[in-house]
Amino acid sequence: MQRLEKFVDPLPLLNTLQPSNKTRNGAHYDITMEEFPAKLHRDLPRTTLWGYNRQFPGPLIEAFRDEPVSVTWHNELPNRHILPVDTSIHDLDKLPTVRTVVHLHGMETKPESDGHPDAWYTRNFQVTGPTFTQRTFHYPNHQRSSLLWYHDHAMGLTRLNVYAGLAGMYILRDKHEASLNLPSGDYEIPLMIVDRSFHPDGSLSYPAQPNDADPNLPNPSIVPAFLGDTIVVNGKIWPYLEVEPRKYRFRILNASNTRGYRLSLDNGEVLHQIGSDGELLRKRVEMEEIGLQPAERIDVIIDFSELEGQTIILKNNLGPGADPADGMGEIMQFRVTEKLKSKDTSNLPVNLSYVPSLKQDEIKTVRYLKLVGSTDEYDRPLLLLNNLKWHDPVTENPQLDSTEIWAFINTTNFSHPIHIHLIQFQVLDHQTFDLERFNEDGTLLFTGAPQAPLANNRSWKDTIEVPAGTMTRVIANFGPYTGEYVWHCHILEHEDYDMMRPYRVITDERKDKK
Ligand code: C2O
Ligand code: CU
Ligand code: CU
């Protein structure tokens, strides 16, 4: 399809959803998944999407620390999918085609509210999956302020449900953050970045099979990666935003299936990064460019105060397709054309938060977890964690409130953003090893000293890029709840097949009984 003209539609600003009711037990929301038409670009016919409350991104939820939120996520989707469903994986031919379950990514909550992939349900809860227990999910919000996001997590369908539009953002605030006097109100803007492809009639394009697929492959057949040719921010294709000459705070999420970005400004100004996935950083860092893998979030301040009248492009320097001629090298445009409404009294603080290091904790267990490439019976790529599939029994059982190190050993040729539910972790280091040697005889031969994470990855994280041929170690304290959670690669095509594993937080007694 011909490329759509850039920067012709204004960036949609997201409205905060009002709760359906508020009681002593917190705010309750009813949110409904539905099919709806959306105008994503001036020159593109309407696109059929799936969205929460007929919106893409879904409605913004704002919460305050220690004030609980509950949500009933209603499924009113049609019974046929708008995208090609591969039923050859996970015995999906035996299950209803359209299944959903919502995960609030980054939230510390009980397993029943975490959106376990097998806790799926169909329209109006008619059919429910094996781990489904309740219709309303509870979010305690007993954690640090941050940008979280909710998205579909149904087993074997996550890539398609999210691509169809089932993703939204959730901002958790607290007193400490409020005391910093960061840009707020109209000057704090959440941005959800995704890549998509379209047919000329406006419909979403997602491959039914890999390019030049073997005729023996199932049809549809899952693809090992998806890279779109169009950028969509807050539901508009390559939008622009008119800003005042002052500081703005942007809460940025990469909600793409596979694509990672490296963001920078085309005028050479730095991005003042103040937060990452799980909280503010200890100290502000000035970044010339910031890597953003699927599911990662960054909290940045851009200072437009000296840029009156200028046009600035938020660029992406990470391929494929990132060279300017290819289109994917640009995300959106800022136009410093608005008059300053009032003096900018917000701060750009250096010291942001106290983040205690977990390194001094007693380490109960170190787990070595391999990211492995293999092939399935059709000779398709099958990516695995520790050579196990999603439905194999639990092998990781951290004890409640114990601190563990998880060492991810990436033996494949590309990086994987690894995400652990329930907890926020700290990245210890990345260490390269001889990948060729490993693939020959399984020897793990390190080729360098452990490297500290980048300065902007030294706070709380729940998703981290594990580069090819490295061992990346993270440290976390497991709790405050027990039960079954999951960890996985957040490239959705990998997560669905089959880079996802259950893990269980257990108590001592339970372990003794075994
Ligand atoms: Cu955002 Cu299990 O993932
Ligand atoms: Cu998550
Ligand atoms: Cu992966």
DSSP, collapsed to helix, strand or coil, labels residue 61 as: strand
Taking the C-alpha atoms of residue 140 and residue 67, their distance in angstroms, rounded to an integer, is 7
- Percent of the chain whose pLDDT exceeds 70: 98
Phi and psi of 226, rounded to 5°?
-135, 125
Is the pLDDT score of 2 beyond 90? no
Taking the C-alpha atoms of residue 459 and residue 424, their distance in angstroms, rounded to an integer, is 9
- CA of 117, closest atom in ligand 1: 2
* Ligand lying closest to the C-alpha of residue 489: 3
Beta bridge partners, 72, equal 30, 136
Q: Ligand 3 mean position to 12 CA, how many Å?
A: 31
Beta bridge partners, 10, equal 240
Q: Ligand 3 mean position to 341 CA, how many Å?
A: 45
* Ligand lying closest to the C-alpha of residue 105: 2
- Cβ-based burial of 435 (10 A; exposed 0-12, middle 13-18, buried ≥19): middle
Average pLDDT, the chain: 96
DSSP, residue by residue, 227-273: --SEEEETTEES-EEE--SSEEEEEEEE--SS--EEEEETT-PPEEE
Mean pLDDT of 139-157: 98
- CA of 153, closest atom in ligand 1: 2
Tokens found for residue 140: 């305690």
Comparing CA positions, the residue from 255, 208, 236, 173 lying closest to residue 44 is: 236
Q: Which residue has the higher pLDDT, 1 or 313?
A: 313
Q: Ligand 3 mean position to 417 CA, how many Å?
A: 6
Residue with the smallest CA separation from ligand 1 atom 3 is 105
- Which tens digit of pLDDT belongs to each residue from 422-437? 999 999 999 999 999 9
Given this model, what pLDDT does residue 311 score? 98
Its sign, for the CA torsion 179, 173, 418, 49, is negative
- Which tens digit of pLDDT belongs to each residue from 27-80? 999 999 999 999 999 999 999 999 999 999 999 999 999 999 999 999 999 999
Taking the C-alpha atoms of residue 17 and residue 198, their distance in angstroms, rounded to an integer, is 29
Is the pLDDT score of 321 beyond 90? no
Taking the C-alpha atoms of residue 179 and residue 174, their distance in angstroms, rounded to an integer, is 9
Angle, vertex CA 491, rays to CA 45 and CA 79, nearest 5: 50
Inter-residue contact 440 to 372 (CB < 8 Å) = no
- Percent of the chain whose pLDDT exceeds 90: 95
DSSP, residue by residue, 10-56: BPPPPPBPPPSEEETTEEEEEEEEEEEEE--STTS--EEEEEETTBS
Mean pLDDT of 468-483: 98
- CA of 500, closest atom in ligand 1: 2
Ligand 1 first shell, C-beta below 6 A: 103, 105, 151, 153, 295, 419, 421, 486, 488, 490
- Which tens digit of pLDDT belongs to each residue from 196-216? 999 999 999 999 999 888 899
Grade residue 514 by pLDDT with cuts at 50, 70 and 90: very low
Mean pLDDT of 415-422: 98
Which position has the token pair 């047919």?
199
- Statement: the pTM of the whole predicted model exceeds 0.85: yes
* Ligand lying closest to the C-alpha of residue 467: 3
Q: Ligand 3 mean position to 409 CA, how many Å?
A: 12
Separation in Å, CA 402 to CA 107, 409, 484: 19, 22, 16
Residue with the smallest CA separation from ligand 1 atom 1 is 105
- Give the max Cα distance, the chain: 69
Grade residue 319 by pLDDT with cuts at 50, 70 and 90: confident
Given this model, what pLDDT does residue 509 score? 61
Taking the C-alpha atoms of residue 299 and residue 272, their distance in angstroms, rounded to an integer, is 8
Tokens found for residue 55: 């919106």
How many CB atoms are located within 10 Å of the residue 337 CB? 14
Q: Ligand 1 mean position to 115 CA, how many Å?
A: 9
Comparing CA positions, the residue from 474, 472, 478, 367 lying closest to residue 422 is: 478
- Which tens digit of pLDDT belongs to each residue from 388-406? 999 999 999 999 999 999 9
- Which tens digit of pLDDT belongs to each residue from 330-371? 999 999 999 999 999 999 999 999 999 999 999 999 999 999
Inter-residue contact 4 to 46 (CB < 8 Å) = no
Is the pLDDT score of 513 beyond 50? no
Taking the C-alpha atoms of residue 96 and residue 92, their distance in angstroms, rounded to an integer, is 8
Given this model, what pLDDT does residue 325 score? 63
- Which tens digit of pLDDT belongs to each residue from 225-273? 999 999 999 999 999 999 999 999 999 999 999 999 999 999 999 999 9
Taking the C-alpha atoms of residue 349 and residue 504, their distance in angstroms, rounded to an integer, is 39
Q: Which residues contact 391 (CB under 8 A, 6 or more apart)?
A: 90
DSSP, collapsed to helix, strand or coil, labels residue 209 as: coil
Is the pLDDT score of 324 beyond 70? no
Given this model, what pLDDT does residue 213 score? 85
Amino acid at 411: T
DSSP, residue by residue, 90-156: TTGGGS-S--B-EEEET----GGGTT-TT--B-GGGSSB-TT---SEEEE---S--EEEEEEE--TT
- CA of 486, closest atom in ligand 1: 2
* Ligand lying closest to the C-alpha of residue 497: 3
Angle, vertex CA 402, rays to CA 153 and CA 472, nearest 5: 65
